[in-house]
Amino acid sequence: MAKAALQTLVAEQKILNLIYIIRGQKVMLDRDLAQLYGVETKVFNQSVKRNIERFPKDFMFALTEKEWTNLRSQFVTSSWGGPRYRPNVFTEQGVAMLSSILNSKTAIEVNIRIIRVFTRLREYALTHKDILIQLAKLEKEVKANTSDIDHIFAVLKELIAQQNVPATPRNKIGFKQYDREA
C-alpha cells in the first residue's frame, strides 16, 4: 500500500513540475502532455486539430514568440535540438477536454491524475489565501509601527547621549558635619 502511495506521489510531482503559469493561467505544453499520454507530439496535435471545435481559446492557445522564447530559456537544450515550432498550451479545462478525444486506458489514467493535481493546486491556493491576507495585514501594521519604533530609538539615543555628558560640579546642600572634639 505504501509503495503505491509513493508511486502516485512521484507521478503527481512529475505532473506538477510540468505545469507553467502563462498569461496568469496554469497550463501544460502539448509535448509534455503527449509524453505523459505515451504518444508522439505530432500524433497528439493531429488529434487536437481533428477536434479543434472542442478547444476554444480559454482551453488551448498557441504561445507567442516572446512567451516561447522566455519559456525555452528555462529549458536546458542544445541550440540545434528540440522543437522549432511554438507549442500549444492547454489550461485545466483543455486538459479535461482531452479526455473526450484520447480514449486509451493510459490517457484516461493520466488525465485523472492531471485533473487531481490541478484541483489540489486550486485547493492549496484557496486554503492559503487567508494566510496571505493575514500576512498582508501584519505587514501593514509593522510598517505603521516602524515610525513609532524609530521615534523610541531616537529618544533612547538622546537619553544615552545625555548620560555621557560630564556633569558640572554643583554646590552641596544640606548639613555639614563638624568634628566636635575640636
Domain membership of residue 144 (yes or no) is: no
Helix H or strand E encompassing 126: helix 105-163
Domain membership of residue 17 (yes or no) is: yes
31 near 40, Cβ under 8 Å? no
Mean pLDDT of the chain: 79
pLDDT confidence of residue 52: 93
pLDDT at 134 over 50: yes
Domain membership of residue 164 (yes or no) is: no
CA-CA distance, 111 to 43, in Å (whole number)?
Answer: 17
pLDDT confidence of residue 113: 86
Q: CB count, 10 Å around CB of 60?
A: 21
How many independent structural domains does the chain possess?
Answer: 1
Q: CB count, 10 Å around CB of 59?
A: 16
Domain membership of residue 126 (yes or no) is: yes
Domain membership of residue 173 (yes or no) is: no
CA-CA distance, 164 to 169, in Å (whole number)?
Answer: 15
Q: What is the DSSP string of 97-108?
A: HHTTT--SHHHH
Domain holding 27, by residue range, is 2-133
**What's the average model confidence in pLDDT over 146-167?**
73
Domain membership of residue 165 (yes or no) is: no
Q: What is the pTM of this model?
A: 0.60
Residues listed for the chain: 182
Question: Tens of pLDDT along 56-92?
Answer: 999 999 988 888 888 777 665 545 455 667 889 999 8
Domain membership of residue 114 (yes or no) is: yes
Domain membership of residue 169 (yes or no) is: no
3 state DSSP class of 94: helix
Beta carbons within 8 Å of 149's beta carbon, 6+ residues apart: none
